[in-house]
Every structure is written in structure tokens, then in C-alpha cells.
Amino acid sequence: MVNGCGGERIVVAEIIPHEGVPRLASRSAVVELRRVTKRYGNVAALRDVSLAIHEGEFFSLLGPSGCGKTTTLNLIGGFVEPDGGDIVIQGQSVVGIPPYHRPVNTVFQSYALFPHMTVAANIDFGLRMRGVAPDERARRIDEMLELISLPDFGRRRPSQLSGGQQQRVALARALVNHPAVLLLDEPLGALDLKLRKQMRIELARIQRGVNITFVYVTHDQEEAMTMSDRIAVMNQGRVIQVGTPQMIYEHPASRFVAEFVGANVLDGTIETVESRAGRVRLDAGPSITAVCPDGLRPGDRVSVVIRPEQATIAGHPDPGTNAIPGQVLKASYLGTHTQVVVRVTDGTEMTALMAAGGASVGTPAIGEEIHVVWKSEGSLILVEEGSP
């Protein structure tokens, strides 16, 4: 472990693929950042970042605004240059090489399609700039139109397309020259929620079809989880954790990662440790049991992570159950389940999910006194920052 910004303990670990996910470590790295630093005046946008992105994977940079994810994308694309470190694409350093001489293309949130050109002409633009022969250009345009499921739209103009169709055309224009890496800077941000969800499926399908490395920037954890082979979670110019979506969600390496992907986090002190289970006295009052990593001792300060789907609510919890009392702040009916936000006794807000028709109590009223309950295997102990 090393200390990150503000003293946060950052875990850097070998990524162990979960079942059903290919062993990405066996692929070659198409993009590498080697101890890259970037400053804007006195502000460090990136701090000594090292990262390897593998050939043919869908890789997402996830984090809040200002964390450094777009700066990372711009450094790979050549739109800005690093103040320190090296950037390697396909085994060659690209520091100092302009964007148009790098084997990358970029899709931005603004589609930037030429309004006076047809869809086919927009896709053809990069091919003509590179001097590709007419027959080959026509073949590649048809190939791209099939890929983005718009085979009969070549003669239309951008104004005749929906937002999702325009986004697919922008994607085809970026892919038609077969770049080694495609950079995508929050390309779905301008779409409505329903269309964004549809485009997530489309993007993942297209990426699998072309087998080109996608590097995708987003602040939306659901978006990253849905599409990515691996995710780098970033904060304050550093990479906090890299892993598969399942690893990031089920085994967060820090409190920041856990909270960013939507988990509940409660603070407490270790009382006892036995095998892989730890008894924790929460600051909020009760003692609970959770899955415990090796090396912890009684008296250690820790954080307990409880994922919302592992928690529910009860009026009178069974003896021996992990439970904490609180007051209902909000209950939102979402069809398959009801999301309940509860303020517990130390002021922390927790989220629990009640399955439709499966709760032991009815939908709670705002202000109602209730317990959040969960099983010990549904929670994980993290070492709190500053602990030995």
C-alpha cells in the first residue's frame, strides 16, 4: 500500500480475472503511461500515473469531474504533452508527436459532423485525406454503415438523423481508418437516458466487432460497469484502482472507490478477528460481523463496506443479524425494487434495496424509525486511511 492524495491508502495489486472474463494480462499492451505527470500552472492534473491498456479491450477511465480522466485521454491523443514521464503506443514513445501522426482517433461529446455533407461523405472524409483509392473507400464506407446498423442512410445529411444515429456516424468516421486506439470522451453525455442505455449496448457491440482498443472517459459508474472489460478509477490526478467491473464493485481497494461505485461505508473499530470474519464496533453504535482481510488486530480503525443490494430494512431485526437503527429519509419505488435512504445514528446516510413483494415490512414512510439489516458475507472490511 502507498499513500495517495490527502493520505488516502491506495492498494496496488495484481489483477485476478474473475470467472468468465478473459485473462487480460496475457494480451499485449497497446497503450502505456509510464509515470506521467501533467500540470496546469500550480495545479497537478496528473500525478505520476502509470497505466497499461491492452490490445482489443474496452477500457474506461472513471471518476468525478477534475480527477484527471480527460487529461489522460488528451495526453494519449496528443492534444496536450506531459510534463514528465512517457506515453507509449504500440511499443513506441509518442511524446512530441502530433495527434495526426499518432495511430489514434477521437470521438467527442459533440459529434462535429459536417452538416453540408451526407453520412457517406462524413465517413469518407478521413479516407480522402489519406489518399485511399476510390474503390477501397466505397468498400470501407459500406462496411462502416453495416457496422453501425445504418446501411441505407448513406445519402442522408446529419440534420435528418436522430442524436443516437449521429453518434454512430461519428463513431464510424473515427473507425474507418482502422486506428490502433479509439478515444471516446463522454460521447453519450448529450443523449437522453433511454438513448444512452441503448447506445451503451451498441458501443459494446461495435467494439467487439472491430476488435479495436477503446479508451472511454465517463463519470457514470453504471456506464463504465456496463461496457468495460476493465476500469481505472481516478481521483485527484491519480489512478486509485484498476480492475474488472466485478472486481471494482465487489472488492473496492479504498473508501473512495467504494463510495464512488455506490456502496455504503460505515466507520468502526475491530473488536475481534476469527478466520476471515471480523467483529467491528461501529461508530454508529452496534457491533457487526463482516468479511475481514488478513493482518487486522483488535483496536484497528476500519471502514465497513455494504453494497445496497446486500442491505434491506426491518422493523425488528432477528437476534444476531447485522443491523443498525435509523430514520427513513426517502423511499423511491423503482418497479423491481424500492430504494430506501436511511440516516443512521451517527448521521451517515445508507441506501438499502427492498425487492418488490419481498420485504418484511411495507414501503416505509418518511421519518419512520427502521433498521438497516444485512448478512455478514454481504459486507467487507477496509483498512481506514492512516491505520497501520
What average pLDDT is seen over the chain? 86
pLDDT digit string, tens, across residues 318-356: 887 899 999 999 998 887 888 999 999 888 999 998 876
Residue 197: the pLDDT is: 86
Q: Which residue has the higher pLDDT, 133 or 1?
A: 133
Residue 316: the pLDDT is: 83
Given a contact cutoff of 8 angstroms between Cβ atoms, the answer to whether 278 and 338 are in contact is: no
Q: Residue 142 has which C-alpha cell? A: 459500406
- Distance from C-alpha of 79 to C-alpha of 108, rounded to nearest angstrom: 13
Residue 167: the pLDDT is: 87
- Distance from C-alpha of 10 to C-alpha of 1, rounded to nearest angstrom: 6
Residue with cell 482498443: 213
∠24-30-33 over CA atoms, to 5°?
100
Q: How many alpha carbons lie under 13 Å from residue 334 in its C-beta half-sphere?
A: 12
What is the strand order of the sheet 29-40 is part of? 43-54, 29-40, 84-89, 92-93
Checking if the pLDDT of 137 tops 90, the result is yes
Q: Which residue has the higher pLDDT, 81 or 198?
A: 81
Residue 326: the pLDDT is: 92
Residue 34: the pLDDT is: 96
pTM of the complete model: 0.84
Q: Which residue has the higher pLDDT, 135 or 321?
A: 135
What are the Cα distances from residue 328, in Å, to 136, 224, 322, 323, 358?
63, 30, 18, 15, 19
Own/partner long-range contacts of 331-338 (Cβ < 8 Å, ≥24 apart): 331/363, 331/364, 331/365, 331/366, 333/363, 338/363
CATH for the 263-383 domain, from 2.40.50.140, 1.10.3720.10, 3.40.190.10, 3.50.50.60: 2.40.50.140
Give the residue from 291, 227, 306, 195 showing the smallest Cα distance to 261.
306
Q: DSSP string spanning 76-103?
A: HHTSS--SEEEEEETTEE-TT--GGGSS
Residue 292: the pLDDT is: 85
Residue 384: the pLDDT is: 55
Quote the distance between the C-alpha of residue 212 and its chain's center: 19
pLDDT digit string, tens, across residues 50-77: 999 999 999 999 999 999 999 999 999 9
Q: Do the domains at 2-254 and 263-383 have one common CATH topology? A: no
Mean pLDDT score, 46-53: 96
- Distance from C-alpha of 241 to C-alpha of 221, rounded to nearest angstrom: 14
pLDDT digit string, tens, across residues 298-319: 999 999 999 999 998 888 888 8
For residue 152, give every residue at least 6 positions away whose Cβ sits within 8 Å of its Cβ, in sequence order, or none: none
Structural domain spans, the chain:
2-254, 263-383
Checking if the pLDDT of 260 tops 60, the result is yes
Q: How many other β-carbons are positioned within 10 Å of the β-carbon of residue 329?
A: 14
Mean pLDDT score, 267-286: 89
Fold exhibited by the domain 2-254:
Rossmann fold (3.40.50)
Given a contact cutoff of 8 angstroms between Cβ atoms, the answer to whether 269 and 301 are in contact is: yes
What are the Cα distances from residue 152, in Å, to 140, 148, 161, 198?
15, 11, 12, 20
- Extended strands (E) in 109-263: 181-185, 213-218, 230-235, 238-243
Mean pLDDT score, 163-185: 91
